[in-house]
Amino acid sequence: MPTEAKGGYRSVFRDDLFAGERIIVTGGGSGIGRCTAHELASLGAHVIITGRKVEKLEATAAEIAEDGGSVSFHAFDIREEEAVRTAISDMLKDGPVRGLVNNAGGQFPSPLEKISTNGFETVLKSNVVGAFNMSRELVNQSMKDTGGAIVNITADFWRGMPTMGHSGAARAACDNFTKTAAVEWGRFGVRVNSIAPGWVASSGFDTYTDPGVQAILPQLKNFVPLGRIATEAEISSAIVFLMSEGASFISGASLRVDGGGSLFSPFFPPQGAKNSESYQGFHRYVPPRALRTLGEKD
């Protein structure tokens, strides 16, 4: 069972796992990034959270500090090469950075024929170009000398992503980037892996404001063999493992954290799941509106 860690986060990992280490989490002001930043800080890391909106970063940083964690933040756009180069340089002034979680991203639901070129390119930049920018700069400026671990966040893109084609293309590209980087940067002692979450009860659900989409969200669990939606903490714990010394010989891997959802088949639809309990280690978790309204716990 998870044990109570510093600051209240109930991590399954020992509370000094990242003591003295500095780790960047992009998109750390909300959702999975916020949860991951909290867990890493509870395990002794100095967490550097990034994003475009200062107010979100300030709020998350205040939470982590209140819980006794060590945190700083930098507001910039990961899609902008020079902004990334400058931000990484500034972060390294306080010491080497051991890890990077490329969590930032975004998309919007739309059939392909209605997505503009600008919209398609924006999602590509958010979900793969940004991860590339951050990774390349950190490797060039620091990790070539120190080694380290990078975890990219992709998605369940394996069978295409209808109504999310721009995101599917970006996530597939990020998965291949992960594998290439693992080969090219292995000689520096840099491990690169990816996490592919399924449906997660995160604040990201609240970005889909269409009533029809909101009505569908609570039903997603019916397409998952385990019969439920993931918690943010379940994604965070997988990220933490890949960042840890326990994963020191894992590189180039794509870890699916989706309850078996990517294996769903109409020939064997979920039969009514039982015995699958959510792990909720995040003491500051707030359910998205669609699930909170209907009383869903996961």
For the stretch 57-95, pLDDT in tens is: 999 999 999 999 999 999 999 999 999 999 999 999 999
189-240 residue pLDDT tens: 999 999 999 999 887 776 766 676 677 777 788 889 999 999 999 999 999 9
- Look at residue 7 in the predicted model and tell me its pLDDT: 46
Q: How far apart are CA 162 and CA 260, in angstroms?
A: 19
- The CB-side HSE value for 140 (13 A sphere, CA atoms) comes to 11
Q: Is the pTM of this model over 0.75?
A: yes
Cα separation values, 246 from 13, 177, 179, 193, 253, Å? 11, 23, 20, 14, 14
117-155 residue pLDDT tens: 999 999 999 999 999 999 999 999 999 999 999 999 999
167-194 residue pLDDT tens: 999 999 999 999 999 999 999 999 999 9
Q: How far apart are CA 35 and CA 27, in angstroms?
A: 11
- Look at residue 103 in the predicted model and tell me its pLDDT: 97
Q: Which CATH class is domain 19-274+282-293?
A: alpha beta
Mean pLDDT value across residues 6-35: 93
Domain layout of the chain by residue ranges? 19-274+282-293
37-46 residue pLDDT tens: 999 999 999 9
246-268 residue pLDDT tens: 999 999 999 999 999 999 888 88
Backbone angles phi, psi at 278, to 5 degrees: -70, 145
- Look at residue 6 in the predicted model and tell me its pLDDT: 42
- Look at residue 295 in the predicted model and tell me its pLDDT: 43
**Pair type for strands 22-26 and 99-102:** parallel
